Amino acid sequence: MSEVQSVPKNLNSPNLSKEAILADFRVAMISRHASLVGRKEVFMGKAKFGIFGDGKEIAQIAMARAFQLGDFRSGYYRDQTFMLAIGELTVKQYFSQLYAYTNVEAEPASAGRLMNGHFATRSLNEDGSWKDLTKKYNSAADISPTAAQMPKLLGLAYASKLYRDNKGLKEMTKFSVNGNEVAWGTIGNASTSEGMFFETINAAGVMQVPMVISVWDDGYGISVPNEFHTTKGSISEALAGFERTDSQKGIEIIRVNGWDYEALLNAYVEAGELARVSHVPVLIHVLEMTQPQGHSTSGSHERYKDKKRLQWEKDWDCISKFREYILSNEIANADTLDKIEAEAKAQVKQEKEAAWSQFSSEIKKELSEAVVLLRAAAQHSTRKVIINQLAEELSKTINPIRKDVVVTVRKALLTLRLDSAAAKADLKAWYAKQTDLNFNRYNSHLYSHSEWNVLNVEEIPAKFNDKSPFVDGREILQSYFDYTLENDPRFFTFGEDVGKIGDVNQAFAGLQAKHGELRVSDTGIRECTIIGQGIGTSLRGLRPLAEIQYLDYLLYGLQMLADDVACLQYRTKGGQKAPLIVRTRGHRLEGVWHSGSPMGMILSTLRGMVVCVPRDMTQAAGMYNSLLKSDEPAIVIECLNGYRLKEQMPENLGEYTVPLGKPEFLREGADLTIVTYGSMCRVVMEAASELAELGIEIEVLDVQTLLPFDVHGIIGDSVKKTNRVIFADEDVPGAGSAFMLQQVIEGQDVFKYLDAEPQTITAKSHRPAYSSDGDYFSKPSVEDVVEKVYAMMNEVDPKTFPEI
């Protein structure tokens, strides 16, 4: 580990001109004043919350100097100076985000959807196609959970490795120039305590990917000092065992103080070179940073920092030190620096006012329109006084927000309910228009708006002929993956035991030997960063298939899927996409951790992803094909007990697709509809045969995907015919089955067609005990299905179906 760098090493010294140094001073000043003014805006009630990058300016300027076109940042809420320095953020945009302005041009990171300090660049054109990322400075889209920016950093860096070493990717010139791109991560000192930080560091050391992680160390995580967070109170000391040596690969660790401009410049040039040229991961521990205004606008740091510490922070403020450096090296005199500061201050004020004026005038305009329409409606209303009073109160709102306007209009429409349609027609029409606009502002882009949305994938049926052989299900996948590896250079897979043995169920058996280690690779046991590897590589144009060995272990990676992947298109309003596919296997097998079917968990956390639940491997292969033609992220849950079952090999493997969001009829019948998916399809179909012998014909529908869910209302049509419905799965009661029930009852207008209460068939609330008996007494069985259906038929016609 390097000693704290304080003397310029001069080996890569950037030798900046006087002008460049003063330009850095200007950016630092602009950023600092943005922080100071931002806090005031919150206290004036113009924004709800603020978290700022003051005290971290100089290191970020040094990082920006080493950052090159095509590089990616994955960082956190302190990085405004860096974003300003690379030219991907203006002060006006910064304040637009503080105010939560929904205009995507004014606030291109999140269109007002994220709180301030959440940065992102736009990788996509308006139509959802990729921009040329090699000609841009890129930033992945920030999220709030501490350290959650780390897992995708691994993937962003790994993509460079693939682009450099996989010759098949040479055509993908929009994404890489010979894998020269560095992924730059930033993280707070306290956040390094999170497991995902250590998982990322370890994986980067193993994989030797071009990543530079900066730890902004201000000694605290909100109120808690370093000694409570980190062994030895120092993350670089704690990580010493990861450090590379002359004989062993590992991580380069550099220590540098956050107020030392020259040392920082050198550290970043050195780190950037090492990562870019040699693909060596680097950690820069930036010490002695400060928080001039404390952690955020919620609370003050005087509560937990003593006077000595507060004085130290003042004395070692990085901008004050930078100023001293400029003066003592006679780069400029005090007047020049004062002038730059005054100009920076004026610029911040002017851009802040421009942002406020644009943001607030839009709402004021809506408010004025509403007031006019309310007064007009009042003219013809029997409740004139009340409506005029609502208009009056609305017009007097200080710093109005959209909600104030809409609440008033909705109250007025309720008040006007007994008045003639004509009196309120204009107000109603205006409200309808605003509802559409507000949907676009606050609710759009959960899924892709592009032509590659999964619903646009053309349906191509699988073809079979008399000679098509019956093989183990896993062989269908194996042939499909072989075909896809051959034909789509963007496609690759990785995970535990996926490489050498071709996954624990052998769907990739022999494919590493055939297609190479870059296409089919083993990873450590680290589900969280397996997902991160998928996120980062998919953010850079690749099509990763991230393997999670069993569905029961998805929980380790679920947070990244929920917090990062599922909401990515939404939180950037279509600015970024990460179309990774997670491949896993679940439902029934044996024992508590190999039989899970936690669809409720997935459904409530992964809205924004596609959730595929194939019943066999032929269907799974078709789903992978559909997904690779689309640009949505997805999870595919194969049936753990299905790899050795015989299926007929389709002759158009690699071509056929499964329509996602469209249930498939497995059996037609007039008496009752059962809606199910996955391994339960076989159970229900067996029960259907038994029921047929009892004179009951059930219709069986396989939903195929839970998200999207039956977009054409096929289940509703079936229920309208049979008038009875059961939703069956192996999740706990009130989870996946309840979701399906809600989707059909609320969305498909079937209630009035039902002759009997809709029912669910589920597993027990606990996990299944071990062995086949454990399965039988915990998961729904053929007998359970037969008896439930029979009981419903007994209610309808007890004569024909007497009680068992």
**Interface contacts to ligand TPP, rule CB under 6 A:** 78, 144-146, 188-191, 216, 218, 220-222, 295
748 to 777: interface string for Mg ion, x by CB under 5 A: ------------------------------
Q: Taking the complex as a whole, how short is the minimal distance between the CB of residue 81 and ligand TPP, in angstroms?
A: 13
Shorter beta-carbon distance to ligand TPP: residue 218 or 632: 218
Helices (H) and strands (E) in the chain, counts: 26, 22
Measured CA angle at 777 (ends 771, 783), to 5 deg:
120
Query: Using CB distances below 5 to 8 A depending on partner kind, what does residue 780 bind out of Mg ion, ligand TPP, none?
Result: none
> Which of 86, 95, 81, 87 has its CA nearest to residue 29?
81
Query: Using CB distances below 5 to 8 A depending on partner kind, what does residue 61 bind out of ligand TPP, Mg ion, none?
Result: none
Phi, psi of 715 (to 5 degrees): -65, -45
Shorter beta-carbon distance to ligand TPP: residue 38 or 188: 188
CA 723 to chain CA mean position, Å = 40
Shorter beta-carbon distance to ligand TPP: residue 150 or 792: 150
Shorter beta-carbon distance to ligand TPP: residue 60 or 748: 60
Query: Using CB distances below 5 to 8 A depending on partner kind, what does residue 160 bind out of ligand TPP, Mg ion, none?
Result: none
Under DSSP, the state recorded for 288 is S
- 612 three-class SS: strand
Shorter beta-carbon distance to ligand TPP: residue 83 or 685: 83
Structure tokens belonging to residue 510: 């022999």
Which residue is it, tokens 């007998």?
783
- 733 three-class SS: coil
Query: Using CB distances below 5 to 8 A depending on partner kind, what does residue 138 bind out of Mg ion, ligand TPP, none?
Result: none
> CB neighbours of 435 closer than 8 A, spacing ≥ 6?
none
Q: Taking the complex as a whole, how short is the minimal distance between the CB of residue 325 and ligand TPP, in angstroms?
A: 23
Q: Taking the complex as a whole, how short is the minimal distance between the CB of residue 146 and ligand TPP, in angstroms?
A: 4
Number of residues that bind Mg ion (CB under 5 A): 5
Query: Using CB distances below 5 to 8 A depending on partner kind, what does residue 164 bind out of Mg ion, ligand TPP, none?
Result: none
Phi, psi of 551 (to 5 degrees): -55, -35
Instruction: Assess contact for 250 and 244: CB atoms under 8 A.
Output: yes
Query: Binder to Mg ion among 81, 110, 189, 505 (CB under 5 A)?
Result: 189
The interface region with Mg ion, picked from 20-28, 186-194, 313-321, 568-576 by CB under 5 A, is 186-194
138 to 177: interface string for Mg ion, x by CB under 5 A: ----------------------------------------
Query: Using CB distances below 5 to 8 A depending on partner kind, what does residue 145 bind out of ligand TPP, Mg ion, none?
Result: ligand TPP
Please report which helix (H) or strand (E) contains residue 278, including its range.
helix 261-278
Q: Taking the complex as a whole, how short is the minimal distance between the CB of residue 145 and ligand TPP, in angstroms?
A: 4
Work out the burial of residue 361: count CB atoms within 10 Å of its CB; fewer than 13 is exposed, 13-18 middle, 19 or more buried. exposed
Neighbours of 165 (CB within 10 A): 14
- Closest residue to ligand TPP, judged by C-beta, is 188
- Closest residue to Mg ion, judged by C-beta, is 188
Q: Taking the complex as a whole, how short is the minimal distance between the CB of residue 726 and ligand TPP, in angstroms?
A: 40
Q: Taking the complex as a whole, how short is the minimal distance between the CB of residue 218 and ligand TPP, in angstroms?
A: 5
Q: Which of 295, 301, 594, 766 is catalytic?
A: 594
> Which of 204, 67, 205, 224 has its CA nearest to residue 138?
67
> CB neighbours of 778 closer than 8 A, spacing ≥ 6?
763, 764, 766, 767, 768, 769
Shorter beta-carbon distance to Mg ion: residue 191 or 778: 191
Give the separation between CA 602 and CA 558, rounded to whole angstroms.
8
Shorter beta-carbon distance to ligand TPP: residue 120 or 162: 120
Asked about 449 being catalytic, the answer comes back as no
Neighbours of 564 (CB within 10 A): 27
Give the separation between CA 192 and CA 226, rounded to whole angstroms.
10
CA distances from 111 to 108, 350, 359, 366 (A): 6, 21, 12, 19
The string of DSSP letters for 352-408 reads: HHHHHHHHHHHHHHHHHHHHHHHHHHHHT-TTHHHHHHHHHHHHT-SS--HHHHHHH
Give the separation between CA 530 and CA 308, rounded to whole angstroms.
44
Give the separation between CA 384 and CA 634, rounded to whole angstroms.
54
Shorter beta-carbon distance to ligand TPP: residue 145 or 713: 145
CA 218 to chain CA mean position, Å = 28
Shorter beta-carbon distance to ligand TPP: residue 454 or 558: 558
Where do runs of H (alpha helix) occur along 456-499? 473-487
The string of DSSP letters for 292-333 reads: TT-SSSSS-GGGTS-HHHHHHHHHT-HHHHHHHHHHHTTSS-
Shorter beta-carbon distance to ligand TPP: residue 191 or 657: 191
Q: Does the footprint of Mg ion cover residue 214 (CB under 5 A)? A: no
Q: Taking the complex as a whole, how short is the minimal distance between the CB of residue 295 and ligand TPP, in angstroms?
A: 6
Query: Binder to Mg ion among 70, 188, 669, 736 (CB under 5 A)?
Result: 188
Query: Using CB distances below 5 to 8 A depending on partner kind, what does residue 168 bind out of ligand TPP, Mg ion, none?
Result: none
Q: Taking the complex as a whole, how short is the minimal distance between the CB of residue 150 and Mg ion, in angstroms?
A: 15
The interface region with Mg ion, picked from 126-134, 138-146, 215-223, 732-740 by CB under 5 A, is 215-223
Work out the burial of residue 108: count CB atoms within 10 Å of its CB; fewer than 13 is exposed, 13-18 middle, 19 or more buried. buried
Shorter beta-carbon distance to ligand TPP: residue 224 or 437: 224
Q: Does the footprint of Mg ion cover residue 218 (CB under 5 A)? A: yes
Q: Is 163 left (phi over 0), alpha (psi -120 to 50) or beta?
A: alpha
Q: Taking the complex as a whole, how short is the minimal distance between the CB of residue 213 and Mg ion, in angstroms?
A: 15
Structure tokens belonging to residue 200: 């990322």
> CB neighbours of 656 closer than 8 A, spacing ≥ 6?
460, 461, 462, 463, 622, 625, 650
Shorter beta-carbon distance to ligand TPP: residue 217 or 260: 217
Q: Taking the complex as a whole, how short is the minimal distance between the CB of residue 785 and Mg ion, in angstroms?
A: 56
Q: Taking the complex as a whole, how short is the minimal distance between the CB of residue 103 and ligand TPP, in angstroms?
A: 27
Q: Taking the complex as a whole, how short is the minimal distance between the CB of residue 526 and ligand TPP, in angstroms?
A: 18
Give the separation between CA 20 and CA 4, rounded to whole angstroms.
25
Could you give the residue numbers annotated as active site? 594
Residues of this chain that interact with Mg ion (CB under 5 A) are 188-190, 218, 220
